[in-house]
Chains A and B, each alone.
Chain A
């Protein structure tokens, strides 16, 4: 049997950081990824932060990958505007929370994990190769077991092999955690369900619309009636030439009032402010005249498709400084004016010859969903089992404080700590839980993110109070009036936060994260203080079938999910809560059609849930 020092299971941003860090430390490590290649199974909101904690230290992405990260990595835009909007109908009340976004942060970049993780994989893979390790993709780990003092890893694709230490980075639906019994499956109270669509938009139009510079980005968050009375909210982040628009909701809130995840995204997209943000010029093809001869119909169809494609590509290029430069320098066009002229001529040809219409609408590129662990409620207290160390989502470590969500950087920080613990274990040749596991657990305890998952930070709280200082107290209402009064004085705030922290998140959370704070107060705010916003068009929302049709799958004919109880209350709710409508009800029984599954794990709690075999399942392009 082949033997390796370290096996990392899962090639998301946490697993890849562990591989890179171990390689940086001169240790041999292999990473096993189920997807066709790293990045095809990952989804994030997503903003990647680099943290500058008040106390202690954080291991950031640039610590792992070096300065080349900022100069070379395919990151989207540095978020410089961070706005929270309370919505009700066509009214919106806005608070600037840029200070909260910048709090304890070196930077926060919008990212798309498809691109970013594949860059991480290239960097980490090259470093690992030098140490005799590397990335093995398209392989799904089936089991980890201990035989005669050896840790044996079995997969669906390869011969079993041995590893001295294992780092489990297999995400929120960690099979390693479940099969070893290291932790229970997460419950709805501990999770958020996030659903996101990628919206296409040319680069300079983004900059103009959001009032940002070439390198800058904006983040807009939404609470109020867009939530359809659920606890959570919507978000819109600007990427280089796309927008990430999504909704993140407390899973238990969705359980109480089941709503299809896509209706929540649709509610957000229909909000007039968001609709205006995503709008773009879209070519609508004219129906082909069926009386024409067959060959002519075909010719027209091809010609129109080709022209529309040219128009789209050219328009994207025309609105991107780098692409414009490339086209002119590459000699394809003599000047930028010539590109514009060509663009106009393609358009008028489409309009004149083929009666193509150009309308205001928006274009979706990809639909995605993911469960997000709320670290406050589910972080593993001791994130290890025997010689397996759990990192990132697999350990339930995500930070949700107010509107700020951190997960990618938490996973990277965990990864470095785990890699350091494993490196020391290799040097001492001691991989026991008492030594390696405890050492890692101790380092996790020192992580500033662990502190964020346990305590309220009074300075962070002050930023919110400052942002809300113009809000009349009567709106915030009797319920919170006292709290606000107490919190507005520095000394009292210190005392109050101290007291709150004694109470602990367990008792505080039901108060802070409630329908009141996410829905009622924002609605009231918007109605009483909001400014009216009007949409100039009505967005054409794709159906879920259209969204699924756009995704790329490599279908495994064997379902990776087995329904255990076809009549349970939980499973009945999946008919609504599955983001891609995989469940349906027939004669009082739940049936599953796994083909459209995007592997979010929403149904995992009461099913036998596995990731698909190597290379199978969904392949995200953007992530």
Chain B
């Protein structure tokens, strides 16, 4: 077990997967009918933290700000990263917070974990319901940590206490440029959605199995690991959180106009041979020049 300390910030979000979303007649999201789950980007952040658990035996705290039911997001994150602690920052006072006010709560909370001595804080790329991608960087700024965004791979040099990370960026008009950076701990990493942990030694695979099993057991009894903090317990400045701490206000949401389709679809009824032959002929025409072996 190393002394690497990690926090992950996650968010409870509406489940946008097929069949789970429900909309109101005016096209807005029906939050009451739509189930909430751990956001997909938060899940990637949790997996990235798990990598450090497997590889460096890191201690992990998963944190979120939200209503009491947001503990399910913490449970789902624990299942992914075998978290040692789950922190929920929940208070009516936090309601109506924009990204900055949320970052204030998260910063205060993270400063409380492990005596404020965090080495790496992970966040997702953005939330699937807000999509601003601001909370992470703002939290990093408030914490005073080096911010590394769009990280697709990272390793920690434990001896020199340095993170080496690869970032997916666009540079001078080129997309998918991979930049390698090095930063001293502590750092804040916003993980790219394409991140996928790979474990390539026997000991990592064994540790992976061990921690994954532990995670399953822990997540079943996640309440044992859960600590809930209200505004008073956190000791936040009421002027900096919730509505009073939020300089941005959403006053109007517009629908994104539907793009014009450039392709034309033709519906073929596949019940008869002739129709199938028509499809085959079309495919033959399109693939004309190609040789399939």
- Which residues 156-177 of B sit at the A interface, judged by CB distance below 8 A? none
B206 at the interface (CB under 8 A from A): yes
Q: Which one, A30, A136, A290, contacts B271 given CB within 8 A?
A: A290
* Chain B residues within 8 Å of A139, by CB: 205
B200 at the interface (CB under 8 A from A): yes
- Would A157 and B200 count as touching, CB distance under 8 A? yes
Per the bound structure, the CA–CA distance linking A135 and B205 in Å amounts to: 9
**Which of A2, A136, A161 has the most C-beta atoms of chain B within 10 angstroms of its own C-beta?**
A136
* Chain B residues within 8 Å of A125, by CB: 209
- Would B206 and A158 count as touching, CB distance under 8 A? no
B201 at the interface (CB under 8 A from A): yes
User: Residue of A at shortest CB range from B204?
Assistant: A158
B202 at the interface (CB under 8 A from A): yes
- Would A129 and B210 count as touching, CB distance under 8 A? yes
- Would A2 and B201 count as touching, CB distance under 8 A? yes
Q: Which one, B202, B209, B210, B271, contacts A158 given CB within 8 A?
A: B202
With A125-B209, A134-B209, A290-B271 as contacts: A2 and B200 at CB distance below 8 Å: no
B203 at the interface (CB under 8 A from A): yes
- Would A159 and B209 count as touching, CB distance under 8 A? no
Per the bound structure, the CA–CA distance linking A159 and B201 in Å amounts to: 5
A375 at the interface (CB under 8 A from B): no
Q: Return A119 CB to nearest CB of chain B, in Å.
A: 16
Q: Mark B203-232, 1 if CB is under 8 A from A, else 0.
A: 101100110000000000000000000000
* Chain A residues within 8 Å of B200, by CB: 157-159
Per the bound structure, the CA–CA distance linking A157 and B198 in Å amounts to: 10
Q: Return B196 CB to nearest CB of chain A, in Å.
A: 14
A108 at the interface (CB under 8 A from B): no
Q: Return B21 CB to nearest CB of chain A, in Å.
A: 20
User: Residue of A at shortest CB range from B272?
Assistant: A290
Q: Return A454 CB to nearest CB of chain B, in Å.
A: 39
* Chain B residues within 8 Å of A157, by CB: 200
With A157-B200, A159-B200, A290-B271 as contacts: A136 and B210 at CB distance below 8 Å: no
Per the bound structure, the CA–CA distance linking A125 and B201 in Å amounts to: 18
Per the bound structure, the CA–CA distance linking A4 and B201 in Å amounts to: 12
Q: Mark A145-170, 1 if CB is under 8 A from B, else 0.
A: 00000000000011101000000000
A133 at the interface (CB under 8 A from B): yes
Per the bound structure, the CA–CA distance linking A158 and B206 in Å amounts to: 12
- Would A2 and B203 count as touching, CB distance under 8 A? yes
Per the bound structure, the CA–CA distance linking A161 and B200 in Å amounts to: 11
* Chain B residues within 8 Å of A159, by CB: 200-201
User: Residue of A at shortest CB range from B198?
Assistant: A157
Count of chain B residues with a beta carbon within 8 Å of a chain A beta carbon:
9
* Chain A residues within 8 Å of B205, by CB: 136, 139, 158
Q: Return B76 CB to nearest CB of chain A, in Å.
A: 23
* Chain B residues within 8 Å of A133, by CB: 206
- Would B271 and A134 count as touching, CB distance under 8 A? no
- Would A4 and B202 count as touching, CB distance under 8 A? yes
**Which of B200, B201, B202 has the most C-beta atoms of chain A within 10 angstroms of its own C-beta?**
B202
User: Residue of A at shortest CB range from B209?
Assistant: A134
* Chain B residues within 8 Å of A161, by CB: 201-202
Q: Mark B261-281, 1 if CB is under 8 A from A, else 0.
A: 000000000010000000000
**Which of B206, B209, B210 has the most C-beta atoms of chain A within 10 angstroms of its own C-beta?**
B206
- Would B271 and A2 count as touching, CB distance under 8 A? no
Q: Mark B62-85, 1 if CB is under 8 A from A, else 0.
A: 000000000000000000000000
Q: Which one, B201, B203, B209, B271, contacts A135 given CB within 8 A?
A: B209
Q: Return A152 CB to nearest CB of chain B, in Å.
A: 12
Per the bound structure, the CA–CA distance linking A174 and B51 in Å amounts to: 34
User: Residue of A at shortest CB range from B267?
Assistant: A294
Count of chain A residues with a beta carbon within 8 Å of a chain B beta carbon:
15
- Which residues 1-51 of A sit at the B interface, judged by CB distance below 8 A? 2, 4, 30
* Chain B residues within 8 Å of A158, by CB: 200-202, 205
Per the bound structure, the CA–CA distance linking A46 and B271 in Å amounts to: 43
Per the bound structure, the CA–CA distance linking A614 and B287 in Å amounts to: 34
Q: Return A126 CB to nearest CB of chain B, in Å.
A: 9
Q: Mark A328-357, 1 if CB is under 8 A from B, else 0.
A: 000000000000000000000000000000
Q: Return B268 CB to nearest CB of chain A, in Å.
A: 13
* Chain B residues within 8 Å of A129, by CB: 206, 209-210
- Which residues 107-132 of A sit at the B interface, judged by CB distance below 8 A? 125, 129
Per the bound structure, the CA–CA distance linking A158 and B200 in Å amounts to: 4
Q: Return B157 CB to nearest CB of chain A, in Å.
A: 18
* Chain B residues within 8 Å of A135, by CB: 209
* Chain A residues within 8 Å of B206, by CB: 30, 129, 133-134, 136
Per the bound structure, the CA–CA distance linking A4 and B205 in Å amounts to: 14
* Chain B residues within 8 Å of A30, by CB: 202, 206
**Which of A4, A133, A158, A290 has the most C-beta atoms of chain B within 10 angstroms of its own C-beta?**
A158
Per the bound structure, the CA–CA distance linking A125 and B203 in Å amounts to: 14
Per the bound structure, the CA–CA distance linking A157 and B205 in Å amounts to: 11
Per the bound structure, the CA–CA distance linking A135 and B208 in Å amounts to: 11
- Which residues 155-191 of A sit at the B interface, judged by CB distance below 8 A? 157-159, 161
Per the bound structure, the CA–CA distance linking A427 and B202 in Å amounts to: 24
User: Residue of A at shortest CB range from B205?
Assistant: A136
User: Residue of A at shortest CB range from B203?
Assistant: A2
* Chain B residues within 8 Å of A4, by CB: 202
- Would A2 and B202 count as touching, CB distance under 8 A? yes
* Chain A residues within 8 Å of B201, by CB: 2, 158-159, 161
Per the bound structure, the CA–CA distance linking A423 and B205 in Å amounts to: 24
Per the bound structure, the CA–CA distance linking A2 and B205 in Å amounts to: 12
Per the bound structure, the CA–CA distance linking A129 and B200 in Å amounts to: 19
User: Residue of A at shortest CB range from B210?
Assistant: A129
Q: Return A329 CB to nearest CB of chain B, in Å.
A: 22
* Chain A residues within 8 Å of B271, by CB: 290
- Which residues 27-80 of A sit at the B interface, judged by CB distance below 8 A? 30
- Which residues 11-66 of B sit at the A interface, judged by CB distance below 8 A? none
User: Residue of B at shortest CB range from A7?
Assistant: B202
Q: Return B276 CB to nearest CB of chain A, in Å.
A: 15
* Chain A residues within 8 Å of B202, by CB: 2, 4, 30, 136, 158, 161
* Chain B residues within 8 Å of A290, by CB: 271
Per the bound structure, the CA–CA distance linking A136 and B210 in Å amounts to: 11
Q: Return A120 CB to nearest CB of chain B, in Å.
A: 16
User: Residue of A at shortest CB range from B293?
Assistant: A591
User: Residue of B at shortest CB range from A139?
Assistant: B205
Question: Can you list the 6 inter-chain pairs with the closest CB atoms, starting with the nearest?
Answer: A136-B205, A134-B206, A159-B201, A161-B202, A158-B200, A2-B202
Query: Please, could you name 17 A-B residue pairs with CB atoms under 8 Å apart, sorted by A?
Result: A2-B201, A2-B202, A2-B203, A30-B202, A30-B206, A125-B209, A129-B206, A134-B209, A134-B210, A136-B206, A139-B205, A157-B200, A158-B200, A158-B202, A158-B205, A159-B201, A290-B271
Residues of B within 8 A of A (CB): 200-203, 205-206, 209-210, 271
Residues of A within 8 A of B (CB): 2, 4, 30, 125, 129, 133-136, 139, 157-159, 161, 290
Additional A-B contact list (13), CB under 8 Å, known A2-B201, A129-B210: A2-B203, A4-B202, A30-B206, A129-B206, A133-B206, A134-B206, A134-B210, A135-B209, A136-B202, A136-B206, A136-B209, A159-B200, A161-B202
